[in-house]
Amino acid sequence: METAAPPVAAVEAISMSPLERFVKIFTRPAQAWAGLETRAQWWFPLLIVIVLNAAFTYTLYDRAIVPDQVAAWDTMVESGQMSPTAAAQAEQQMTGPMWRIISGVSPLITVPIIYLVFALALMFGVSFMLGTKLPFRRAFEVVTWSSMVMIPAQVLTGFLAWNQQSLKAVHIGWAALLPESEPSKLLTGMTSFLDALGPFAIWSLVVTILGATALSGAPRKNVTWVVAGLYVVFALCGALLAGMFSPARSS
């Protein structure tokens, strides 16, 4: 008695490698989630992001990151928030080898923590708010794999930051449309929020919605409302924190 061959989708779900999934995230994101229900591959995109962030920091450290921080300290000195002596000491420490090492290895800690928070929020939104089942491991798969589409944005940001010798001056979101004006906490917060709504960020949001829909089985329309709402909340919180901790003067 002959045994029927398994469906093509089932074969694809079992045999899809991390590299094949990486390609599909860019070419066919709706079909990039097959097999993740039973097989964990979150380590692959997480490793890529950590390595890219470490290389990004190392490459731009002297060219853009240090000048931005020194400029922020200068602003604090002018406004009386920091003494010239403290600013000089901070600059000396930042240009030393210890801070270079700390900046290089920091993605090993910060990236997993950020993804952990996003995955917990996604799990809560889809599982509890929609009443469907999206376990944490699947939510973590969605968050890590959907972040792959932000790689072009990071490459573009690095290229522009290298040319402009400033990371804070680079805006690949809608903040690029804001007119130049005197720095303020309100402007910093607004800039952060508009950058979070840029084309690359929206692309990543769409891929996240497709992944959450595929791995939870919830209606895509409902997932869209929940994920988009959570994203706006995170963007607003990020803008609030950016404005609060900005060295610029209050408007």
**Would residue 2 count as lying in a domain?**
no
CA angle 106, 112, 118 (to 5 degrees): 130
State the pTM of this model.
Answer: 0.85
pLDDT (0 to 100) of residue 10: 43
Which has more pLDDT, 52 or 75? 52
| Window from 9-23, 49-63, 182-196 with minimum mean pLDDT | 9-23
Whether residue 155 is contained in a domain is answered as: yes
The tally of domains found in the chain comes to 1
Q: Does residue 3 lie in a domain region?
A: no
Whether 193 is covered by a domain: the verdict is yes
Given CA atoms 119, 201, 248, 97 in this order, what sign does their dihedral have?
Answer: positive
Question: Is 206 within 8 Å of 29 (Cβ atoms)?
Answer: yes
**How far, in Å, are 102, 138, 140, 215, 223 from residue 227 at the CA level?**
33, 15, 14, 14, 6
Q: What is the pLDDT of residues 209-232, one digit of tens each?
A: 999 999 999 999 999 999 999 999
As a whole number, the mean pLDDT across the chain is 87
Could you list the residue range(s) of the whole structural domain that residue 206 is in? 40-244
Tell which wins on pLDDT, 90 or 221: 221
